[in-house]
Chains A and B, each alone.
Chain A
Amino acid sequence: MKKLMTGNEAIAYGAYLYGVRVGAAYPGTPSTEIMDNFSRYPGVYAEWAPNEKVAMDVGIGAAYAGTRALVSMKHVGVNVAADSLFYVVYTGLKGGLVLISADDPGMHSSQNEQDNRNYAKFAKLPMLEPADSEEAKQFVGMALEMSEAFDTPVMVRTVTRISHSSTPVEMSEEGPPPAPEEPPLYERNAGKFVMVPANARRRHPVIEERIKKLAEYAETLPINRIEPGDDTVGIVAAGATYEYAREVFPQATFLKLGMVYPLPEKLIREFASRVKTVVVIEELDPFFEEQIRLMGIEVRGKDIFPMIGEFSPTLIRQCATAAGLIKGEAAQAEAAATSSAAIDLPIRPPILCPGCGHRGLFYVLREAGVLVLGDIGCYTLGVAPPLSAMHTTGCMGASIGVAHGVDKAKVKDRVVAVLGDSTFFHAGIHPLIDVLYNESTVTTIITDNSVTAMTGHQQHPGTGITLQQKKTKAVDLEKFVQSIGFEKVDVCDPYDLEGLAKVLEEHLESGQPSVIIARRSCVLYTREKRTPPTVDPETCVNCGACLELGCSPLMQAEDYVTIDPILCNGCGLCVQVCPSEAITQE
C-alpha cells in the first residue's frame, strides 16, 4: 500500500521502521515535522531539546549506549550542534546515529541559505540526499546501517522541497524490529570515547581511513546510479534538483547521486566517458562540480546555473536554454499571453497575526524610540513597517550578546534586547549571564507567548509539557532570571500599552541590567478570540493612528477605517491607540 507523505513524515516513518528508539531535535523550518511525527510512533522516546547542540549530544549518548538514534534540525541548527558533530565523528559510536539537516535554499524561512553538504566534507562523515519521500524513508534505514557498519554518524540532507513536498511512500507490512528485552549494556571504552589529545591523535587516522573506505563503498551503492539516455549531455544531480532536471531533460543520461559525500570517483569517470558534456546541476555551492573538476574531468555547472537561491524546473529550463543545452521552445513561448497590461501588484509579506502579543510590545518600543537588538522567531516580524521596531537579527540568541556589545561601545541610544521564550531557552541564557557578569545596563525583554510559535507551536522547557505530551517541571522564567542575579525583573501584559510603556521607561532609566517578561499567549495556539471592536464611521477622523499597528483586519475604507470581524481577534490595541474614541469593544 502506498501513502502520500511529506519528506519529513517519511523520515520519521523510516526512523521508526528501522528501529530508532531515541530522537531529539529543536524545532526549525523546514525540519520541525520530523520529530513531531516520530514522537507519535509507539515504543519510541522523542524530545524537544532546548537547542540543537543538546539534541545532538542526546542522540550521541543514546548511540554510545548502543541504541539507534535520530537527531533532526534545520541547516543553521547544525551550526549550533557542530561542536558535538565534530567530536562524534572522531569517537564513532555503537548504535546507528543519523543527523538530518533540512536545508532551506531560497530562504523561505531562514536567515541564510548555507549549503550543509559542506559539513560532510568539513566534519568528514558520509551524507545521503533523498529526492522524494520514498527515498527519504529508505535512506534513513541505509544511513543507520552505514553508521553501524562504518562506526560513524551519518548525515541525511533534505531541502525545503523534499521536507515539505508529499509523494507516495510504500508502507511496510512489517513493523519495526522488536525492542530489546534486556536494558542495553553500556560498554566503557575511554580510549575511544574520551577525546583527550592523546586519544584524539590516535583517532584521526582512523577517520581519514574510514572516509576512503566509504568512498569505495559509494562505488557499489545502488543509490548512486547511471540512468542511460542520449549521450550529448550527461547530467549529475541529487535530491530535489534531480527531479527538476528530469523534467527539463527527459532524454539525457543522468548520474543520480543518492550519496553526496564521499563521491564515487570510478563511477563518475565511467559516466563522463559515456557522454559528450558533463553538466552538474546543483543548488547553492559547486559542491560536486569542484570535486569532479579535481578528478581532472571537464565539467560545466556554475557557469550555467546560479549559486544563489532555490532552483525550479522553470529556472533550469531558462538557464539551460540560455546556455544552448536545450532548444528554446521554452515554456515561456508556450506560456499564455494573458492580456495583462503590467499591473503592479502590492506585495504581501508575512506579518504579525491579529491578536499577537508581540504587536503591543513593538508598538511601545517604536514609540519609545529605543534601539532594538532582535532575535529569531515570529517577533522578528516586528521589523516590518509600520512597526519597524527591530534593528538587528542574526541568529538564535544573538540579541542579548549584541545588545551587550552595543552597550559597551557606549552608544547614546537606549538599548534593549528582544527575544522569545523558546529562543531564550535555546541560546539566551549564556549572554544574559554575560550582561550580569560583565556589567552592562541592557534591558532584556523576553516576549513570552508560552510556546515555540513560528514553527507551529512546539513545547519547550517553559511550558511544562514534553514533546510526547507528558507533564513535566516548567522552568519559571521570573524565578530563573532572579536566581542568576537580576534584581530588576517585571512581568507585563503587552495588551496593556500604557502599563508596558511605563515599565519600559522605569527599566531604561534604572541604570542597571534588567529583564522584562512581556507575557501573552499565542492566540493561534490558545485559539482564544474576543469580540472584535467596531469603528463608528461618524466619529472616525481617519487619522491613521490605528493603522500604525500594522494589524490586517484594520482596513482603510473611503474616509474612515473598518475592522474585518473574520480576521480580527479582538485584542483591543486599536481601541487603546485611537485618539478620537471612534473604536469601541464590548
Chain B
Amino acid sequence: MKYVNHESVVKRMMNRLTINKIFKAIFFFATLFALLALAILFYRIITQGIGYLTPEFFQNFGSRFPAKAGIKAALIGSIWLMFVVAPVSIILGVGTAIYLEEYAKKNRLTDFIRMNISNLAGVPSVVFGLLGLTIFVRALSLGNSVLAAGFTMSLLILPVIIVASQEAIRAVPNDVREASYGMGATKWQTVVKIVLPSAIPGILTGAILALSRAVGETAPLIVIGIPVIIQFLPTGLLSQFTALPMQIYDWAKRPQHDFQFVAAAGILVLMIFLLIMNSIAIFIRNKFSKRY
C-alpha cells in the first residue's frame, strides 16, 4: 500500500503552482506600492522645492516672506544639535550595552533592565519631550538651549542605540572571548581588542539610524519650546537655536501658498543631511570591516 498517489499529485500540481504565482504577485505589489508612494513623494518634493534651493536659501535666516526665507539658522542649529547628541548618546549607549552584555551578572534584575530598555524604545517621543522639559529645561535650568535639546534627544535615542549595540555585541561568538580570557586577558582587554572590533559595524549602523531619527524628530523640540524664527546662529551650548524639522513644520503650516515650496526645499535639505550622515556611517563601517 502506497500512501502517495502520484496521479492525484500531478492533478493538484497546476493548482499549487497557481497559488504560488498569486502570492508572488501579492508580495510584488506590496513592494511596488511602497516604492511608488516613495517615488511620488520624492518627485513632488523635488519639483516643488528645487526652485528654492538657491545659495540665498542657505544664507538667509527665517522670514515672513517666502522669497526671503532661508534655512541657515535651522541647518546650523541641527548640526550643533548633532554635536551634542552623537557623543552623549553613543558613549552612554555603547557603555550601557557593554556593561549589560559583558560585565553584569545574569540575574533577574539585569533581565528586567534589559526588557525595559527595549520597552523604552517604544515610548512616544513627545513623552521624552516632557521629560526633557521637566529635567533639563526647568530643573537644571538649561532653558531651551542646544544642550537641553541635545540631552533630550539623546535620551530619546539611547534605547535604540543600547539595543542595537547589545545585539551587535551578542553576535560576537563566545569562543573568541574564551580564547582571549584563556590567555589571561582582562575583561576590558577582551572587550576592546576582541569584542568591539567585531561589533563596531553593527553598533555604528544602529547609532546612525538612531541619530537620523534624532535629526528628524519634531515633537520633543516643540515640547521643550524650541523657537522657530531665530535671527542668529548658536554661539555656545547654552544658546537658543532652532532645528530643521522645527523650521519645516513651521513653514508647512503657514497660510501663504509659496511657503509650501519653501517647506519642500527644507525637506530636501533635511534629506541631504540624512544622506550625508548615512554615507559617513557606511564609510566608517567599511573601513572597520576591512581590518579583518
Q: Do A and B truly interact?
A: no
Residue ranges of A at the interface with B (Cβ–Cβ < 8 Å): none
Residue ranges of B at the interface with A (Cβ–Cβ < 8 Å): none
